[in-house]
Structure 1
């Protein structure tokens, strides 16, 4: 069958649609090891390179800055070049700075490598675009949320696994404790190269085949896709919302280990394990957001999905405020679980809306919204480099900002409700590349 699937069977790998679905989320999962693999090892880097709080803040900002432009570019490339080649190129090029960061011997060189590694974050746009091409409108929100959630799971697993990999190099006698982070980063770099080969060999751009197999007339449809996406105010509303959920998520991925070490005297491995709890919520929470959103959308259309997204953001903001004011480790973990649930459900809801904004510019819409998530992380990063603010203060102010954005999403009319006829028409358009 060469049409988008109307059902998602996560236990199946049959057909190009489900094979692509599983390969793309697994690839995105490992991209997190390259993108944030160094985050749980930052206490070691901080000690060896003698970094201060401001420098760590700059590194945090750098790690998500390059992703903004990369996501805009990769979204357009998905519309024109196709997701298969776009992902292959991104993985091959991204592996270079991941392996090379171990050569850093100064704050400046480490900052440059950390900035360039951020390009790997554009992998999310391809994952969401590729999944959107493989599933019909009635299930695409759920499919996107599951693929994104299981991929984002890598952000939690890397916090748990990378300290163990570093410790293994020490135990085997290949590295000292101080240099273990350098050797550990070789592993995710090699994995990215392997996934580049797998992606190129075993996926296709659409259920009908690769872009290179289409006629010139079919390819012309991608022209002007970025402009069309940028002209739609709903695209920017989603970008703002994504900055308030995914922007917070990658901020937590970056600073959680350091936060638990400094505030609760946790060991490196324990801090990584605690930070991993946050990421492990992606196992179900983002998918849950997509599932609920699809059900709401079936009855109330995009308008209902918009209300749902705003509500999740408001609840996320409240949870963040409680997390910031936690007096004990137990309270901090509980509050983190609460706000993580609503944050990741908001992630899933956001990208359950993306495929319905403009069917002829899914990649560009996805890229702009994804860039909004990273722009949020960049802005939040400035709070963590401030000498006058503690990490707890930063989390509290972020919670307030997220709550306000949630109110904006609820108040601003997102879209009128869609009828079943309109949904069916969109499904037909999706099947005509």
Structure 2
């Protein structure tokens, strides 16, 4: 085995160079995406915001990522990860700068909403890494990509409050967030000039259409339409949150217009799904080209509970520790970063375990642990020693992030040419989960919030029994009509 073909974390050539540059890009996207969560108090005081407005900013921060991940997944499959990731990093620096310069709640809200687009970066790397690593290393590689990249939120929580203090004054948070935008802009160039979409000589398989995801049976056609509904429901929930019933950012007329727009958009998407897949109602799909969409549906539900809860908890945990244990914003941010800190080992660990012991058994164990972890978090109160509460958060985080690693150890093994689209939909479900959980948080206390997440994890555990362990090979058609068989398991 050549040095370049070995899995060596200390190498920076071949596939390992691609892996390292990919997690660095993802790291930066998360640092930008969550660059204000650890400085909520400073932003609140500087802009004169209410607690309800702060909670609205948290929801807005993850809302746009729902459609963005779906769209970016499709673009990645069509144009390749190199171009799409580079463009994403460059473009999203602009709303980051806009947030740093915001003077009103409306300006901050628009900037945070647009910044949700950078959360779609994760999807791009999933496809890129799957092109460079074989199935027996894929879970580990995707876990490192997701885990080390995800650590960007912990780095933001740990470093940005201190950086804001170093700049000093009421505008310290502005300089700290602005610096993350400069990082994003600069790394866009680094990524573009140092990454290739596939190893030399390999084919980059593209989907037949960008209009909609392909399915291979009538039942899957209906299941796809059903699984689209929560994506629109989450956006409708956000519109309701911004209505006069919520924070009154939008008028009743505007909210009704949003509802109608979402309904029309869904009808349009149904039409697109039909146009792409109508042939399955008249001609059976060859067995070699079939895949089961229920695999995608199960992973969607699991990512709702895993990444959805992580997004929500990372956003609220500094405030939770500050209020529960009466900590300063800086100390609370550093303590809360322990939750995301686990990403460094947990997510790669989940992927590695999946590679060694199977995708489904790993997910069953981790999902059960996730439910137990959030049940424990629901019992944390001011009577607990702080170190015990932090330990509980880290234990919960282990199962959450290992579960995420196990989910995306499976995603690239379903259908190679549609990996971006599948990753986009599954990733979007993570954001649907975050919007739902953060909306729940706006109505209940912290304890009930954690119990709700635990209950959805139990639901995910039940749904998981319908998933099938990836076996054998999947087929993709080359440009010349020949068929390439790609291993998805060693058996």
TM-score by length of 2: 0.77
Assess, with a 3 A threshold, how the Cα gap between structure 1 residues 60 and 184 changes in structure 2: closer, same or farther: same
Rounded to whole Å, the distance in 2 between the matches of 1:430 and 1:65 is 35
Matched, 1:252 2:251: no
User: 1:322 Cα deviation (Å)?
Assistant: 1.1
Matched, 1:52 2:109: no
User: 1:225 Cα deviation (Å)?
Assistant: 8.5
Per the alignment, residue 34 of structure 2 pairs with 36
2:422 to 351, 356, 365: 365
Rounded to whole Å, the distance in 2 between the matches of 1:209 and 1:367 is 26
Q: How many residues align?
A: 402
User: 1:141 Cα deviation (Å)?
Assistant: 1.2
Per the alignment, residue 125 of structure 2 pairs with 127
8 Å CA contact retained: 2:205, 2:416: no
Matches within 5 A, 1:113-262: 113-170=111-168, 176=169, 178-208=170-200, 221-223=207-209, 226-228=212-214, 231=224, 232-262=293-323
Assess, with a 3 A threshold, how the Cα gap between structure 1 residues 358 and 425 changes in structure 2: closer, same or farther: closer
User: 1:252 Cα deviation (Å)?
Assistant: 1.7
Rounded to whole Å, the distance in 1 between the matches of 2:435 and 2:207 is 34
Rounded to whole Å, the distance in 2 between the matches of 1:423 and 1:94 is 38
Matched, 1:292 2:324: no
2:388 to 290, 310, 331: 331
Between structure 1 and structure 2, the one with the greater Rg is 2
User: 1:423 Cα deviation (Å)?
Assistant: 4.5
Partner of 1:105: helix, strand, or coil?
A: coil
**Which blocks of at least 5 consecutive residues in structure 2 are unaligned?**
216-220, 225-292, 477-482
Per the alignment, residue 307 of structure 1 pairs with 361
Rounded to whole Å, the distance in 2 between the matches of 1:56 and 1:333 is 24
Assess, with a 3 A threshold, how the Cα gap between structure 1 residues 355 and 417 changes in structure 2: closer, same or farther: closer
8 Å CA contact retained: 1:319, 1:338: yes
User: 1:67 Cα deviation (Å)?
Assistant: 0.6
Per-residue CA shift, 1:38-72, capped at 9, x if unaligned? 11000111223333332222211111111111110
8 Å CA contact retained: 2:205, 2:417: no
Rounded to whole Å, the distance in 1 between the matches of 2:206 and 2:390 is 51
User: 1:353 Cα deviation (Å)?
Assistant: 0.4
Q: Is the helix fraction higher in 1 or 2?
A: 1
Assess, with a 3 A threshold, how the Cα gap between structure 1 residues 321 and 120 changes in structure 2: closer, same or farther: same
TM-score by length of 1: 0.87
Per the alignment, residue 300 of structure 1 pairs with none
User: 1:424 Cα deviation (Å)?
Assistant: 8.8
Per the alignment, residue 264 of structure 1 pairs with 325
1:408 to 455, 463, 467: 463
Rounded to whole Å, the distance in 2 between the matches of 1:150 and 1:404 is 28
Per the alignment, residue 445 of structure 2 pairs with 390
Partner of 2:27: helix, strand, or coil?
A: helix
Assess, with a 3 A threshold, how the Cα gap between structure 1 residues 94 and 135 changes in structure 2: closer, same or farther: same
8 Å CA contact retained: 1:317, 1:398: yes
Per the alignment, residue 244 of structure 2 pairs with none
Partner of 1:429: helix, strand, or coil?
A: strand
User: 1:184 Cα deviation (Å)?
Assistant: 1.2
User: 1:369 Cα deviation (Å)?
Assistant: 0.7
**Which blocks of at least 5 consecutive residues in structure 1 are unaligned?**
171-175, 298-304
Matched, 1:316 2:409: no
8 Å CA contact retained: 1:324, 1:392: yes
8 Å CA contact retained: 1:261, 1:268: yes
Per the alignment, residue 9 of structure 1 pairs with 8
Per-residue CA shift, 1:130-155, capped at 9, x if unaligned? 11111011111111011111101111
Matched, 1:399 2:454: yes
CA-atom RMSD in angstroms:
2.3
Partner of 2:92: helix, strand, or coil?
A: helix
